[in-house]
Amino acid sequence: MTLIRSWLTAANDPACPFPLNNLPCGVFSTPGTAPRCGVAIGDQVLDVAGMEKAGLLHLADRPLLQAGAWNPLMEAGQTVWEKLRSALMGHLREGAETQDQLAAYLHPLSAVRLHLPFQVTEYTDFYAGKNHAFNVGTMFRGPENALPPNWLHIPIGYNGRASSVVVSGTPVRRPWGQLKGPQDEAPRFAPCVRFDLELEMGAVVGKPSSGPVTVAEADDMIFGYVLLNDWSARDIQAWEYVPLGPFQAKATATTISPWIVTKAALGAFRASTPAREKPLLPYLEEPRPMLYDIELSVELAPEGSAPTEIARTNYREMYYSAAQQLAHHTTSGCPMRVGDLLGSGTISGPTKDSRGSLIELSWGGKEPLTLPGGATRTFLEDGDTLTLKGQCKGEGYTIGFGDCTGTILPALADPFAR
């Protein structure tokens, strides 16, 4: 697919993350106004809630864009998703006669505040990147036992906290928790020392289920994708995760990018999952490519310093697609709801500079990262700002997600001191 030209000239720049091919869905506000649904185009955000209210968008027999979140639109189904995209294409395409009508509904992206784009109903995080799972497993169990026996057969995940999900730009407070080093006789209650990021993608469920679904049906249920940083307290996790897996170590915050890039916008970038080392059970087999060729990177900026890229990888490195994860999630009869969020698991490539977490980049703290100016990192320090970036490169255009950013705040004073 080539660039679809718009009468907004900024949207035709090959480097612009928000061309007409994209039309990502977000929620924004301007000074003195409530958050409302908008779509990014060029260097502007289009107030689609205002357009619907004025009668310039008619999508259903009831308003779908007035709730300050995209859940009602998602719940209306794929036909309405396609109707909205087609209507916006008609309004914004080069040569459209609605340019003057839309002027009142355009706001510079630089002048708006962005909010969570949807109400997160439930949050499940997976462990579905093979390079990451092998690296972490090697650190703790050696390469011969790096992957658990079930890993090549099943997308492993855990139920996280929907309340932990925040939008890009929200500061993240260093957590307290129980810590116990290998030489300690007993745990202590203290601020996390080994605080980490995890570079992930998040799939946004736009259609509910009431029973098991196929992988193809699961793919149809996905409305779109966001960048996701699954902040992780490695030292808290090391003490708590046996026998039931992550708990408080993953409950501090989960940052997502402010724009949902719809599945329709990503269609030209589909990619296949890798060849299987062991055959999957039939219910997990994919009928068509269900990953995406999305270039991903991580930048780290110490307080007062410029950002440095510390990792670069691609979403196509995943061993299980979001559709496979979602299909597996439903096998027990677990109902999926509109607004459910599925974290992909850390996305790491095969080389050191493509590892999507600091525990891998510093190999558990044994190989510190050296930043420009001489600063080093094994894990995150107070004041550090982490930024995840993602893009697809088409013929003369770019599909972007908006940055996924968070800054580490110092831990609170002892919350239980009396």
Question: Which residues are known catalytic residues?
Answer: 132
Q: Are 283 and 331 in contact (CB under 8 A)?
A: yes
Cα distances (Å, whole numbers) of residue 353 to 106, 149, 225, 298, 301? 40, 28, 24, 10, 17
Q: Which residues contact 86 (CB under 8 A, 6 or more apart)?
A: none
Torsion sign (Cα): 376, 377, 383, 387: positive
Spatial CA neighbour of 110 closest among 170, 40, 171: 40
Q: Are strands 341-343 and 123-126 parallel, antiparallel or unpaired?
A: parallel
Tokens linked to 104: 């009142």
Rounded CA-CA distance 152/158 in Å is 17
Rounded CA-CA distance 402/27 in Å is 13
Cα distances (Å, whole numbers) of residue 286 to 208, 282, 337, 344? 20, 9, 22, 17
204 strand-pairing partners: 224, 341
Residue with tokens 């059970």: 281
